[in-house]
Amino acid sequence: MQWADEGIILATRKHGETSLILELMTPGHGRHLGLVRGGRSRRLQPFLQAGNTVSVTWRARLDEHLGTVVAEPVTERASRLIAGALGIYGLQVLTALLRLLPERDPHPALYTALAVVLDDLGDPISAGELVARFELAVLGDLGFGLDLARCAATGATDDLAFVSPRTGRAVSRTAGEPYRDRLLPLPRFLSARAEGQPTPHDLAAAFSLSGYFLDRHVYEPRGITVPPARERLLALIAGHGAVV
């Protein structure tokens, strides 16, 4: 068995005295593991770092085997990511989200989105918007996507202000106002007619929204907890990058 693809390194771990096991996100083969022989060498180790994009060739005798990987650098962003808390926690949050997906299950749109987010983890507000959208995209690929395009009650596409916690569908301000205590706020930037940059308050509402449905559909049913890095990332975004 053999295939060639591009991949973003999610994590590495030592194997034996000289090798590494790479955890990759690839467009055509999903989240995939592979052994890099000699991966801790002076030539390979500098670019075999989480956050970097590499071209890979994977080989194994049988498809279900771990297999070996030959990797070459494409985009090196790891040094920038680990230079600040926003990059470190952002990468940890994204990696944890991708681990919710079945291994080796292709999600090409998420791969493309991952590269975009990793390249924009410098500004807290911009990063917050992208990570919140990424959480919603993961929910969608897991089969629990939200319908935020039109009001569930009236079909209207204007002034969408709430989300039903039961159905995950948007509700307009007029239709939802009598029931606002039972509904989740929908930040304006997530609506179909969004304009302008979100505020920290908008981002807090977005993460509350995605967090609610991740808890309900993914974390609680699987008996797992929210990654600690998520709360640290949210604190950084709320504080406009102040380290907490």
CB 87 within 8 A of CB 13: no
Q: Is residue 219 part of a domain?
A: yes
Q: Is there a single domain that holds both residue 105 and residue 53?
A: no
By the 10 Å C-beta count (0-12 exposed, 13-18 middle, 19+ buried), 206 is classed as buried
| Amino acid in the structure at residue 146 | L
- Please give the average per-residue pLDDT across 58-65, as a whole number: 93
Position 100 scores a pLDDT of 98
Q: Is there a single domain that holds both residue 116 and residue 226?
A: yes
Domain end position, chosen among 23, 53, 76 = 76
- CA dihedral angle for residue 184, residue 189, residue 192, residue 195, rounded to 10 degrees: 150
- Please give the average per-residue pLDDT across 75-103, as a whole number: 97
Q: Is there a single domain that holds both residue 88 and residue 209?
A: yes
Percent of the chain scored above 90 by pLDDT? 91
Q: Is there a single domain that holds both residue 27 and residue 133?
A: no
Classified as helix, coil or strand, 150 is coil
Q: Is there a single domain that holds both residue 71 and residue 86?
A: no
pLDDT in tens, 13-55: 999 999 999 999 999 999 999 999 999 999 999 999 999 999 9
**Residue 205 clears pLDDT 50, i.e. is over it:** yes
At 192, is the pLDDT very low, low, confident or very high (cuts 50, 70, 90)? low
Q: Is residue 206 part of a domain?
A: yes
Q: Is residue 164 part of a domain?
A: no
Position 193 scores a pLDDT of 66
Q: Is residue 158 part of a domain?
A: no
Cα 41 from chain centroid (whole Å): 30
Q: Is residue 244 part of a domain?
A: no
Q: Is there a single domain that holds both residue 20 and residue 112?
A: no
Percent of the chain scored above 70 by pLDDT? 96
Q: Residues 6 or more apart from 41 whose CB is under 8 A from it?
A: 18
Position 84 scores a pLDDT of 93
| Amino acid in the structure at residue 33 | L
Position 239 scores a pLDDT of 81
C-alpha 101/C-alpha 83 separation (Å) is 28
Provide the token pair at 137: 């995209």
| CATH of residue 71 | 2.40.50.140
Position 244 scores a pLDDT of 35
Entry pTM? 0.94
* Domain that residue 93 falls in: 81-148+186-238
| The residue to which tokens 């977005």 are assigned | 206
- Supply the mean pLDDT for the chain: 94
Count of domains for the chain? 2
Exposed e or buried b for every residue in 179-194, given b needs 16+ CB within 10 A? Answer: eeeebbbbbbbbbeee
Question: Where is 55: in which H helix or E strand?
Answer: strand 53-59
Q: Is there a single domain that holds both residue 8 and residue 126?
A: no
Provide the token pair at 117: 């987010």
Domain end position, chosen among 76, 105, 137 = 76
Domain end position, chosen among 76, 92, 127 = 76
Q: Is residue 46 part of a domain?
A: yes
pLDDT in tens, 113-151: 999 999 999 899 999 999 999 999 999 999 999 999 999
| Amino acid in the structure at residue 181 | D
Q: Is there a single domain that holds both residue 140 and residue 191?
A: yes
